[in-house]
Structures are given as structure tokens and as C-alpha cells.
Structure 1
Amino acid sequence: MKKGLLILASIVITSVALLSACGKSNSTNGTQQVLNVATSAEMATLNTVKYSDTTSLEALQNSFEGLYRFNSKNKPVLAGASSVTVSKDQKTYTFNLRKNAKWSNGDPVTAADYVYAWRKMVDPASASPNSQRFEPIKNGTQIAAGKLTPDKLGIQALGKYKLQITLESPISYFSELMTGAPFYPQDEKVAKKYGSSYGTTSAKAVYNGPFVVTNWTGTNLKWNYVRNQNYWDKKAIKLKKVNVQVVKDAATGGNLYRTNKLDYVMLTTDYIKQYQRTSGYHSKPIPLIGYLSFNTHRSATANVHFRKAISMSFNKKTLANNILQVGSPLNGIVPKNFVYNSKTGDDYRQNAGNLLSYNLKAARAQWAQAKQELGKDKFTIQLLTSDTADSKQIGEYLQSQLETNLPGLTVEVRSIPLKSRLAATSAYNFDIVYGTWQPDYADPVNFISDGGQYHLNDDYQNSNFRKLLNQAATTYATDPAKRWNTLIQAEKQLLQTDAFTAPVYQGGMSYLLKNKVKGLQISPYGTVLFYRNVELK
């Protein structure tokens, strides 16, 4: 498929940490409202149409703003819009945009900017990794399939500051969906000026969010978020500047932290135990997942028995407890404690059950069948990961498990920078890729129809799966019980029957936070940080 949100940031963010300083904080820094942070992977793009990694997503969600945003309690509230009316059938939303909202270059943010960005997003020519997010919007699916032109998308400007959005069917998560980066506007004048190079550097984009990105050349490992002086609610933004640098080595990050050069730094899983007893340490499960995606255009990984053997042949409990030291095994694409049945209150994962569990006996039976069908006894495959410490460590663990448990299999781990890994996966330059992904809204379909699964829309055309997704989106859109069961059947088709992707684990987040940092928010759907409400005291 066109790779989904996200995220797929192949960073095992299961161990993200916000470190509190050992010594005294820099009081001058606090007075100046400047925050120094580290991230473990480079940024890929500032184009809302093109992103598919967590670092880019974090930059976009702090420098752009859509119709809705999350408030301090992580609830969606109106942002770029000042008011909204909803039709009786709950399929048409009419927004009045804020007339004082401007781009960082002074241009007004208009309804036409939303129409332009959304049409570009669904246009097959854009090859957006996030086009599937528009399936709930009227004609979104048909446009992505090339059956209709982008101008038929259910969005139109009724005036300079009036925007109307029409859905295929009512959805309960509309406001949460609209907080996502794919639904942000773009300044049409600027985007057309730069063309294919739009968003490839911080200077080749303009921003309508609380911060402006500066000093990113497209390849460098340092950049800044600076308070946007044209932001409509700039008086609410206390933080003056965020200095960001990529630090892939946890030891280096720790040293920068200890010398008070960083307020926030990423840690690998090796360092969790070291900081567990530190004041301010926190750890919690999050709906981030680790997964394996298969290239079905190559003979071995196109074989369903080969994929099932891989999916069931590694011990997930050992991975979570001994390697990650946070998080838990995951036996479905939808994580646990993420979304609940509106009628019964049941957790989705509990209802759907375990679909691809560690089962060595079953894995070897599938392995024998794969060998027979493929006419070979020995296979060499490549496992692609990013080059962060955690991703490489997980890659090596999977390599050891697969080679030990599936006789005749050789696994070569290829770890490359995240930006290169994303490009390689999009270009089908892999056998199996390991990545992570975090959702955009609290509904099972966000994982089942996306979930970080590369080339899902392009390569997985199972008619029953597509029928079930369509029924969930239309026929049962207003029948929660039937929709719930239909999505469970779709997930079983995807994983249990066809093993198109392999769930690995559900993430956790461990962090320490300096006492002087107030108002730092973590996305309710993963690990992205929101700086809008931060104040240093």
C-alpha cells in the first residue's frame, strides 16, 4: 500500500525518555523559554502529503494546524475553525474558518488551502503514504483507485472562510480524525511555487501552527521550532524556541543530558533499568505497535505458508520482557486497551482474540509446507530495519529466533537510516521490513486498514477483506455491534488467514521529566510530543 501514518517510524519508541537533569537546570534557559531536546531519527519531510515517519509527524503537528487539535487534556477541540454545524444525517460538516488565521508568511489561511491540500492528498499521482485516511470522505476511495478525479472529493470551499466536508457515512471519530497531519491545509501559492521540492527543507514551506520550523536543510541532524509570530493564538504560546538534534547513540545522549546540554533525550531499551529508580521516572503502555511487513512481490514472502511460519516463530514474551523491557506481546494488528465496544465496554483485542501467536509447532508445520510448495530447503532473506539502536537490536533478536526455529533459513539484517529505509520500503527494495506505527484516532479500522502495513491497498486485494471493510464503513456505519464484529472478521482475514503482516509487540513509553518543564503533552495515540502548552518554570 501507500505506507500509512505513520508511522512507521521504525524507532522502537517503547523506551522514549524525557530525562531530568542530575544537576541544577540552566535558569537563564528557563527564563528564555528555550527547550533543548533530542530525537533518535532524522526528519524526512515537511510535506503533509509525503510524511510516513514519527519525526516528521512531530514536526508537522507542532508547526501546522487543521480544523481540530488536541487540547491540554488530549481531547479534540476546534482549532483552525471557529465553529461547525453538522447535518441531521451526520454526513455533512460546515466549518467557519478563523479569519485571523495566517500562514507564517502572512498569507491568510483559507478554505481553498484545505481543498487544495486534500485533493492533492488523494490524487493517485501524489502517491501519498496517507491517502487511505480519506476513505471516510465522500468519493475518497474511488479517487484513490483512479475511478474519479480529485475534484470529486467531498470537500468544497463555500467562501473564502467557509468549508464544507461531506462523508460517505457517519463516523463517530470525525473530530479525532481531523486532528491528523494528513488533513492539514497547505498554502497553495507556496506549494505550487516549490513544486516537487515543497517541504524538502524548512525554508521551502510555510506554517500555520504555533511554531515555525527553521534551519532544516533536508539532510542535517539539527533544526529548531520557533514561536510563530503570525499564529492566531500566539499569546497562548509560552515557549520561545525548541532546539532539536538527532542523537542515535544513547550514551552520547546521556552525556549531553548530564552536562545540561539537553532537557530531553531518547534512550535505548538498555538504559531503562538504569533510570527506573530515578525521580520522575514514568512508564505506561501506549497504542504503538511493532510489526513485520512482507514484500509479496518476491517468491518466498509471497507464499502464505512462508509468511505464517515467520509470523509464529519468534518468542514475543521474551522480546518484550528481556529486550524491550517495556511493552507487551501483540498477537493482532489492533493493540489492547486502545478501543472499547460502545455497548459492552469490552476491549477490542479481548473480543478479537489471539490471531498470530508464538507457536513453534505450528510455525514448523507451515515452514515444511512452504518448502514443499516453493521446492527449496534453504532460503536467504533480508530483514530491513532503521539504524537506531533499538531497531537494530530487535532485528538481531528476530534474526536469531528465525534462524534457530526455522531450519534452512538465513536472515540478513540490513539497518539503514530511517529516511533511506522508508524509501527502500516504498520502492519494494526489501523482503521483510520491521517498523513501528502509531494510530491517528481511536477506532480498530485505523489499524486494520492501515496499521503501518506497507502496500496494503496496492498488494492485498482479498475480496472478502475489502467487502468487510466496505460493510463496516457503509452498511453497518450506524450499527456499532455489527460493525464491531465485521472489523474482527476483517482482521482475522488479514492476519490469521493470509498473514499479510505480522504483529510483534505493543509498545510502552518510559520517561523522566524535569520539574521545570510544565505542560508537555504526549499524543494519546503514541509518542509524539506537543510543545504548544509547554512553559519552563
Structure 2
Amino acid sequence: MKHFKHYLRTVALVSIATVTAITLAACGNKKTTANKNNFRVGTVDALATLNSSRYSDISSGEAIQNAIEGLYRLNQKGKPVLAGAKSVTVSKDQKVYTFKLQTNKWTNGDPVTAQNYVYAWRKLADPTTGSPNSQNIDPLQNGQDVRLGKKPITDLGVKALNKTTLQVTLANPITYLNELLATAPYAPQDEAYVKKQGQAYGTSAAHAIYNGPFKVTEWTGTNDKWAFVKNTKYWDAKSVHINKISLTTVKSESTAANLYQSGKLDFIDLDNEYVKQYKGRSGYHVRKIPAIGYLNFNTKREATGNVHIRRALATGFNKTQLTKNVLQDGSTPLNGIVPANFVKNSVTGEDFRKYSGNLVPYDRAYAQKEFKERLKELGKKSLTLEFLSADTPEAKAVAEFMQSSYQKNLPGLKISVREVPLKQRLNFGHNYQFDIIYGIWSPDYQDPYQFITDGGAYHLNTDYKNPTYLKDVADANSTYATNPTKRWAALKDAEYQIVKKDAFTAPVFQGAYVYMQRPSVKGLAIDPNGTGLFFRDVTIK
């Protein structure tokens, strides 16, 4: 099953015409302020869905978290705080959480109830749903068994004690539950409304209802613009001071920069060339994030179903050249699926990436050896593979680099590149319509487990059968849940199995986020694990 969400918000790797550079230089000191009632944001990816059971991209996850409030939300500092729940009590064994809900309503007038959470979470776990985020349910009691179809959904560790009291039972104590419950997959759904909408639910702004600080408007399901408008029925509407946030898909960085400079956008992302021009200016921001660029391989096909081919593809390109010469945005090479400086061992203080080591660095000689070995087995002298990516300028630049690198470093390999809109790429990945697929992924909570059991890998839960890996992740999730030393050892071995031994997925780089934000905009929260924007506390001075 595909686990592929939070497609990194990143715009354009495009060449800049001289006239554009002159224009930017000329208006670089122009003072503009944001409209106090409308915060205007440029984004690269169009909105795909408002269904929390089905989303797999950053724009959709962002929209859901801004318009459909769960038990927790992220505050201005990116920390989870109670939101849809007004209080929580925890059992002595740290496994049973009892939440009292705020008095709140959906925009259709229905009350938000504990059963809304039970329905949504069971739907997330139900294998017939095919949710790309179903593995997020694993920490709940029987979560893994339910999503794998081994137990009925009624055995999931969530129960409505009454209309306003929700009981959540964990399989084992975890330290990141509040982070997890602040994410889009754990948003509630109004069962009566969702069932009435059927397949149309979440496919446009008109086919969804909202209980959060904003409601989504202006999105037809196919257009490139949408907006968040203040939800006056929200339980804490008095704390929301911005009336509207307008989002526009802008695929050209030069266009985005010009719109920002002319005062028509208040927030944009920056790519490599513009980083150089804007660095140090008012409104310029940069930060390292735990988002990763990765490759997946279709194990159902003859070529990429072979471990030697996958190992060659995982090690046959120069990551330093990619990050330094192509991306140029602060991204760095990554040789394991868990990023650096993401999480430290609570006992030793050691960063997981350092602890687990460099598993798949660029190694041309090794890649050629693995590739030649498989060609010999096939009795072939050449091989053609398709490289699938989104059609954003950043993805196109990466695809072109990979095509050139593979064909240069692996004699006999020909790469054809297919670039499609993000929504199509998601569907192609889900339906096995690729040889090699490139994407970017960021986590929901700070634990290596999510990268190792998800990390953007397509069909991981259904297709990857390595028994050592499966035992490792099961032990990390249960047997060693409260033993940090043994748990990390199990996760280290699991990462070795999936990345080094079997090359089921291949890390490429660790990302950075560079953006311009109008200085008059205050209170914007950005996901500490990625690039999602949270608008609840925004004010414009």
C-alpha cells in the first residue's frame, strides 16, 4: 500500500532571464505590506483532496489541518497543543488517554462528537479504504492488525464513551502521541455527511464540511486557486484574526518572485537562483527540515524487481553534485532513509543518522558491478527504464540529472523520463505504473520508526516481505517500545535491511526550506517536520 504524503512545497529550478534579474534588482528595496484581511500565498502544488483518509500531498494535508481540527493542533512554535479536545487524562501505564471534547459544530450545523473520531480512525485503519497513511494507526491498540486485515476494525483502540468523551488505547506507551494526533490522518469526519456524499466527499470545497478555524472556498476540484475563509462557527473563532488566506498555484519561480516583489503575494518559496539574490534581505528565511528526496522501484517488474538493479540505481548517481550544483538550496546528500539531526536517542543522546551510518553513498564502481551482474543474468547488453516524476521545475531538474547520471555511470542503461502533474504521479505510483519514481516526503512526528516503516515508499506494507525487517519493526513497536537502546538497535537493523540489503527504497537528499514572508505578517506557523503552513494565529500589522 502506498504511503506517500506531504509532497515537499518547493518551487522551480528555472533559469532566470537577464531582464528578470534586472527587474528584481530594481524593485528589491520596494516596500510593500500585506492586506490586513487577505494573506496571499504562492504554492507549487495544486490541492488534490479534502478527504483525510485519502490525501497524500502537502497542499491537501495543509488544507485539512487548517480547516478540519483534530484533538491537537500546532501552535506558532510548531508544538502540539490541545484544540478539538479541551482536556486529557492519562492512565498510570501511559496507555489509555481520555479526551473531553470542546463544544463545537461542523459548518453544516452538526455537532462534533467523539463518534466522529471513531468513524474517521476506523476508516483510516480499514484495509478496504486503501489509505496511503494507514500505517499511522499502528500505535493504537490492534492498529497494525486491523490495517493488515487480521482483526476487525471494531478492535481498534478508540472508543466513544459518550458524545463528548473519547477514549484512546495504545498498543504501547509512546512519547509522540500529541504530535501524531495533530496530523491530518487523525482528523475527525462526520459519518452521516461523508456517507451522503459518497465518492464525491472531499473532491471539492462544496463536497466537504469543516470544524476548524477556516473553511475552504473557491476550489472546484480541478482549479489552481483556493482560499481559507474564517469559520464563524468555530468554537474559538474570537482568536482567529485573519479573515481570508488566498492560495495560488505558481509553477514558475520567476513569476512567483515578480508577484511577491509587486506586492501581489505575501509568501513564496525560493529556489537556488533566488536564494542567492534574496539572502539577507528583509523577509528572507531558511531552515533545515527532515524532508527527504527519495527513489522507489517497482518490484513487480522484471528489471526493478531484481535487487542488483535496485542496488545499482540506489548508488549510481552523485548526490553531492545533485545538491550542490542542481538544487543549490541548502539540501544535503542523504545515505539512509532517516534524515540527520532529526531525533536523538533519549539515553545516549546520539543522532539516529550517525548511529545508523552511511548505508548507500555514491559508489560508481559498486553500482556498475551490480548492474553488469544482472545484465549478464538476463543475457542482455542494455536495459531501458522509465523515470517518473512530477512536472514541477524542481522535479524536472532532478529527473534530468538522474537520467544523465545513470546513462553515464551505468553503461547499457537508457532512461526515459516521464513528467506528469502531481495528482497523476500519485495515481501512477499507486497503480504500479512506473519503473523508478522520484518524490519528496516529510514525517508527521519525530521518531525514526515512521521513516523506516513509511518514508514515502510505495506498496511497502503489501510488497516488502523481508522477515528480518518485519521482526525488527514489530519489536520496535512492541517488545522494545520502552527500551530505547534495544529499540534503536532494531530500527537500525530494519533500516539496513530495506535500504542497504534490499534497496527497496533509496534516499537521495535531505531538504531545506527557503522562503520569503512579508515582514508585516505575524503568527504564521510552519510544520517543524516539513513545509506545511498553519494560519490560525496569523495577524497582519
Q: After TM superposition, is the score higher than 0.5?
A: yes
1:447 is paired with a residue of what secondary structure? helix
1:203 is paired with a residue of what secondary structure? helix
Matched to 1:162, the amino acid is: T
Which whole-Å deviations, capped at 9, do the CAs of 1:307-346 have from their partners, x for residues lacking one?
Answer: 0001101111111111111210000000000000101111
- The whole-number CA distance in structure 2 between the counterparts of 1:377 and 1:133 is 43
Give the match for residue 17 of structure 2: none
User: Which residue, 66, 77, 83 being the options, matches 2:81?
Assistant: 77
Give the match for residue 227 of structure 2: 224
User: Which residue, 249, 252, 275 being the options, matches 1:249?
Assistant: 252
Give the match for residue 160 of structure 1: 163
- The whole-number CA distance in structure 1 between the counterparts of 2:72 and 2:409 is 48
Within 5 Å, give how 1:18-417 maps onto structure 2: 22-26=29-33, 29-30=35-36, 33-98=37-102, 100-325=103-328, 326-417=330-421
Contact 1:290–1:504 (8 Å) recurs in 2:
yes
Contact 1:11–1:390 (8 Å) recurs in 2:
no
Which whole-Å deviations, capped at 9, do the CAs of 1:181-207 have from their partners, x for residues lacking one?
Answer: 111100112101101110000111111
Q: Aligned pair in 2 of structure 1 residues 238, 21: CA closer, same or farther (>3 Å)?
A: farther
CA positional deviation for 1:520: 1.1
Give the match for residue 470 of structure 1: 474
Overall identity of the aligned pairs, in %: 51
Matched, 1:3 2:3: yes
- The whole-number CA distance in structure 1 between the counterparts of 2:12 and 2:344 is 23
- The whole-number CA distance in structure 1 between the counterparts of 2:435 and 2:9 is 19
Contact 2:11–2:251 (8 Å) recurs in 1:
no
Contact 2:267–2:515 (8 Å) recurs in 1:
no
Range with greater deviation from structure 2 (390-399 or 370-379): 370-379
Matched, 1:454 2:461: no
Count of matched residue positions in the alignment of Structure 1 and Structure 2: 529
Range with greater deviation from structure 2 (154-163 or 102-111): 102-111
Contact 1:11–1:386 (8 Å) recurs in 2:
no
Matched to 1:440, the amino acid is: D
- The whole-number CA distance in structure 1 between the counterparts of 2:9 and 2:539 is 27
- The whole-number CA distance in structure 2 between the counterparts of 1:217 and 1:526 is 26
- The whole-number CA distance in structure 1 between the counterparts of 2:327 and 2:213 is 34
1:124 is paired with a residue of what secondary structure? coil
Which whole-Å deviations, capped at 9, do the CAs of 1:351-397 have from their partners, x for residues lacking one?
Answer: 00001110111111111112122322211111111011001001101
- The whole-number CA distance in structure 1 between the counterparts of 2:132 and 2:230 is 29
CA positional deviation for 1:87: 1.3
Matched to 1:535, the amino acid is: T
With normalisation by structure 1, the TM-score equals 0.96
Q: Aligned pair in 2 of structure 1 residues 473, 270: CA closer, same or farther (>3 Å)?
A: same
- The whole-number CA distance in structure 1 between the counterparts of 2:324 and 2:282 is 23
Matched to 2:172, the amino acid is: S
Contact 1:37–1:244 (8 Å) recurs in 2:
yes
With normalisation by structure 2, the TM-score equals 0.95
- The whole-number CA distance in structure 1 between the counterparts of 2:379 and 2:219 is 51
- The whole-number CA distance in structure 2 between the counterparts of 1:121 and 1:127 is 8
Matched to 1:242, the amino acid is: I
Give the match for residue 491 of structure 1: 495
Matched to 1:401, the amino acid is: S
Matched to 2:135, the amino acid is: Q
Which whole-Å deviations, capped at 9, do the CAs of 1:69-126 have from their partners, x for residues lacking one?
Answer: 112222211111111111111111111111x211122211100100111111111111
Which whole-Å deviations, capped at 9, do the CAs of 1:242-283 have from their partners, x for residues lacking one?
Answer: 111111111221222222211122343332222224333222
- The whole-number CA distance in structure 2 between the counterparts of 1:268 and 1:508 is 10
- The whole-number CA distance in structure 2 between the counterparts of 1:217 and 1:65 is 22
Q: Aligned pair in 2 of structure 1 residues 44, 22: CA closer, same or farther (>3 Å)?
A: farther
- The whole-number CA distance in structure 1 between the counterparts of 2:232 and 2:10 is 35
Contact 1:289–1:506 (8 Å) recurs in 2:
yes
Q: Aligned pair in 2 of structure 1 residues 285, 26: CA closer, same or farther (>3 Å)?
A: closer
Q: Aligned pair in 2 of structure 1 residues 477, 440: CA closer, same or farther (>3 Å)?
A: same
Contact 1:269–1:390 (8 Å) recurs in 2:
no
Contact 1:438–1:525 (8 Å) recurs in 2:
yes
- The whole-number CA distance in structure 1 between the counterparts of 2:399 and 2:129 is 31
- The whole-number CA distance in structure 2 between the counterparts of 1:364 and 1:120 is 45
- The whole-number CA distance in structure 2 between the counterparts of 1:41 and 1:103 is 27
Matched to 1:298, the amino acid is: R
1:341 is paired with a residue of what secondary structure? coil
- The whole-number CA distance in structure 2 between the counterparts of 1:83 and 1:11 is 33
CA positional deviation for 1:407: 0.3
Which whole-Å deviations, capped at 9, do the CAs of 1:213-242 have from their partners, x for residues lacking one?
Answer: 011111000111001111111111111101
Contact 1:47–1:198 (8 Å) recurs in 2:
yes
Contact 2:270–2:514 (8 Å) recurs in 1:
no
- The whole-number CA distance in structure 2 between the counterparts of 1:510 and 1:282 is 6
- The whole-number CA distance in structure 2 between the counterparts of 1:358 and 1:14 is 25
Q: Aligned pair in 2 of structure 1 residues 346, 469: CA closer, same or farther (>3 Å)?
A: same
- The whole-number CA distance in structure 2 between the counterparts of 1:529 and 1:193 is 30
CA positional deviation for 1:11: 5.3
CA positional deviation for 1:13: 6.4
- The whole-number CA distance in structure 1 between the counterparts of 2:318 and 2:57 is 27
- The whole-number CA distance in structure 1 between the counterparts of 2:120 and 2:293 is 30
1:199 is paired with a residue of what secondary structure? coil
Root mean square deviation, CA, Å: 1.7
2:77 is paired with a residue of what secondary structure? coil
2:269 is paired with a residue of what secondary structure? coil
- The whole-number CA distance in structure 1 between the counterparts of 2:70 and 2:377 is 50
Which whole-Å deviations, capped at 9, do the CAs of 1:132-189 have from their partners, x for residues lacking one?
Answer: 1111111111111212221221111000001111111111111111111111100112
- The whole-number CA distance in structure 1 between the counterparts of 2:359 and 2:379 is 28
Give the match for residue 523 of structure 1: 527
- The whole-number CA distance in structure 2 between the counterparts of 1:495 and 1:385 is 21
2:267 is paired with a residue of what secondary structure? coil
- The whole-number CA distance in structure 2 between the counterparts of 1:213 and 1:11 is 19
CA positional deviation for 1:21: 7.6
- The whole-number CA distance in structure 1 between the counterparts of 2:422 and 2:181 is 27
- The whole-number CA distance in structure 1 between the counterparts of 2:257 and 2:80 is 35
- The whole-number CA distance in structure 1 between the counterparts of 2:537 and 2:346 is 31
